[in-house]
A and B are shown apart, each in its own frame.
Chain A
């Protein structure tokens, strides 16, 4: 093969240009620490890194949202458990009042305690999250959800709206808590509640013994129609009549301590009613915990001079105690549900963190400079370029014309 002069120059130039281009690329990589700056550098690595960037950023957000949610749910469970503690204290007050040895001034002290518990409960229900919004308000966290009207009634102005915060690609958690455990626990035993007529003059009380037929009790609750047990005296005997919706259900001779099974619930009557006394056994309805506490305060402040008044007090205390149980059940079950969410959130926080680490190392594998490799290559190309230059300089001196 014959080598012409221009071939020789072209070859030398091309070789050196190639080395220069490689050196330039490597220098850029070493300077930035990244092998891929745009899709032409390595399309597959670019696509991988671009997708990973999106996911890494999403996971960072999942993590911070899960963190917020964790503190929100912790605050929620803490508040509910505080509320249950308050209810327990109120219950011991009610039990103390019911043991019959308290006098009027004792009861006033107890009433004051309950009134302050009610204040405390209102504060708990209006707890604010760290962002300043009310926790138990559904979607209406910007305004106070539980407001006390001039009449003393506490109304709920939130809603039961749900939120959805994703804390992992396929995990969405409700971040909005409703005021329902405060606003709408059922009264009575959850199926029915018993109350004495205001004008009762005997010393009889009725208490709920238990639910013997849950489905009958549930359908009684849903029915909306109450039983009325009324007593009439005649011929030295006391008889009772149970009516419901205008028709008589049951009637008979009254015996103190007798039990009646009505609407799936067993009722026990104590003491001696007077003729004309009556009791209403109503289906259970939502009753706010504030109303329950208010009822207790009112009952504690009512006089107990006569046996009938004492019976009224005991009847009311019984009903409040039942309602307190219901409120406590409502709160603890919500608290338990939140605890489950909280566990899910905590495990999501952990898995989000380890996932982020994985994604980052995958991204690094895809696009980051492999330092030993890059530096070795840099040295190699540098040497190659030096060699090419030296060779060119030497060979270009060779010419036959130097000798002729």
Chain B
């Protein structure tokens, strides 16, 4: 077609095109803050007789979208991780908290060492027992609270994720029903939902040609053309959580950086691991104090009883076990426990046991038999295990939550050494009769794990009563009961001296109180070892040194606390740095996305001016053509 009519028709296509273009500008400006909205651009093409609007393009880049989705997952996950770890670090303040209560306890114990008979001084220690226990309890409780918080946040985030998946399934169905139609607004909604989902879970998204989505997490499909598979939360007996999807409950295992849900799952496990470190600290503290108690005598003159009640190790058999074996565990040396506190997984295979520290993955082979020992634990196997049987051994089950003072009696603090030596014999009323004519002397006693060579040993059954060390000749000596029964005898050398080692019963069994003798005795010289008076405080002094002496592999109790707390702090700090990094990455991904799909007001204003001027120009063409028509008609009239 040609001629003026043709000009008019061509101009009309221009008017249509610029009206549509102005329409897209209007939509862009209106939707500039709508989630999921991608800016629209009219796609114009020249025709034989004018311009045509091929489509209104939704401007997206798959690359920018994917990058933004991954950055959102990582950033949201990092925020959650940082939030939990900072909250835990805040439970370990430098002033106050467990470490200060611990310092106070040991410092007050030292005061008992110098005034052992003073009840008010002893009372401060029994108060400290309660104070230290309650600090442990409180820290454990707030860790437990954070674990529950993480569980609840997980549950609510899973619900939101399921809602979002259902919405995406709806959109999938709508897209399937509308092939070839303009689905731009559906795609905006889809984009908004996917962004929301990726904050919750690190999802893998596959776009089908019909724009329906297939969404999966670590290989487990959550959404496809058939519909959504809702996620369920499973809570195991020990409180750890896992996810599964769909009717056949396929496991969903997001990593710690895979969105809020992944971070919340990992945070739950991490808090449990930190709680276990705290449990180990509580157990070690209780164990060391109680053992030192058993080395000494309380104000009643008895061997010291425990000051702390700490839960005993617990063993759990796996449900799948086929053998009849049961395990009982006993903590023989808490100082040998690893700093992570386990728990341990024991597995029986081909006649031998293997222990795995679930926290570190370290394994130790224990061999066969019914008595196993590793890392300060002693296990007794009764019944017969079958190959493949598994057990869990927790050396300190909820110890921080359950540690409690075993006594409130100030007299129960075993400040005194178990024995005081006196030259001579002791008669009624405590009168000392010393007729020793040799130069032999009794030295300061000490606790030893094994008696010195040649020492006279006194069995644990005779611990507690008064003993006499009698030199029957300058080179022979005996230990006798106060009744005169000879318990032990041996030869003595005035050059190198000799020792009397008294075995401890009860909680300190396996250790000895050893008193050295030196000098040249005369036949008949006698020393009496009897329970000391109330001025003896050397055991309390030793107990107070537990906080500063190297009693553990990594140093003292306070060192162990400092390195545990610093480890948690380092994680919190790096998590917070990670959250900042992730946020920066998210910002950069978002900037890139915005450059492609976002709306710039200045840009739209320019386009608006341009389109409206073009529209006016086309209108001018029509108006001019109209005048030409009029001129033509007037000329031919």
Contacts and interface: CB of A to CB of B under 8 A. Distances in A.
Given A221-B437, A286-B436, A399-B602, A39 B548 contact: no
Interface string A120-154: 00000000000101000111111100000000000
B570 A43 contact: yes
B246 interface: no
B598 A164 contact: no
Interface in B223-240: none
A382 to B, nearest CB: 21
A160 B435 CA distance: 15
Interface string B340-375: 000000000000000000000000000000000000
A159 B536 CA distance: 11
Interface string B81-104: 000011001111111000110111
A160 B474 contact: no
B608 interface: yes
A400 B50 CA distance: 31
Nearest to B422: A159
B598 A163 contact: no
Contacts of A175: 114
B117 interface: yes
Given A7-B591, A58-B547, A176-B536, A46 B429 contact: no
A158 interface: yes
B595 A40 contact: no
B430 A157 contact: yes
A98 interface: no
Interface in B564-623: 565-570, 572-573, 576, 583, 587, 590-591, 594-595, 598-603, 605-606, 608-609
Interface stretch (B105-113, B277-285, B387-395): B105-113
Interface residue tally on B, bucketed by range:
35 or more
Given A39-B570, A58-B547, 9 more contacts: A44-B566, A54-B103, A138-B533, A143-B533, A159-B532, A159-B533, A165-B541, A224-B522, A399-B605
A164 to B, nearest CB: 4
Contact of B573 (A7, A40, A48, A53): A40
A142 B119 CA distance: 13
B530 interface: yes
Contacts of A51: 558-559, 562
Highest count of chain B CB atoms <10 Å: which of A41, A46, A180, A367: A46
A221 B519 CA distance: 14
A283 interface: yes
28 contacts: A6-B594, A14-B583, A37-B94, A38-B91, A38-B94, A39-B568, A39-B569, A40-B572, A44-B566, A54-B102, A61-B107, A61-B110, A137-B535, A139-B417, A139-B535, A142-B534, A157-B430, A157-B431, A159-B420, A161-B419, A161-B420, A162-B443, A164-B444, A166-B541, A166-B545, A180-B423, A224-B522, A400-B601
Nearest to A133: B535
B100 A53 contact: yes
Interface residue tally on A, bucketed by range:
35 or more
A404 B44 CA distance: 25
Contacts of A184: 423-424, 434
B417 A161 contact: yes
Given A47-B566, A404-B609, A283 B601 contact: no
B542 interface: yes
A190 B289 CA distance: 47
Contacts of B521: 222
A258 B32 CA distance: 131
B64 interface: no
Contact of A140 (B103, B535, B547): B535
Interface in A208-254: 218, 221-224
B558 A40 contact: no
A57 B103 contact: yes
A68 B118 CA distance: 15
B410 interface: no
B194 interface: no
Interface string B499-518: 00000000000000000000
A88 to B, nearest CB: 25
Contact of A2 (B113, B421, B572, B595): B595
Given A39-B570, A58-B547, A133-B117, A286 B434 contact: yes
Interface string B54-84: 0000000000000000000000000000000
A47 B89 CA distance: 13
Given A36-B94, A47-B566, A161-B536, A138 B587 contact: no
A395 to B, nearest CB: 12
A301 interface: no
A387 interface: no
Interface string A30-42: 0000101111111
B523 interface: yes
A4 B532 contact: no
Contacts of A55: 548
Contacts of A38: 89-94, 569
B406 interface: no
A53 B98 CA distance: 13
B290 interface: no
Contacts of B562: 46-48, 50-51, 54
B417 A156 contact: no
Given A58-B547, A160-B422, A37 B110 contact: no
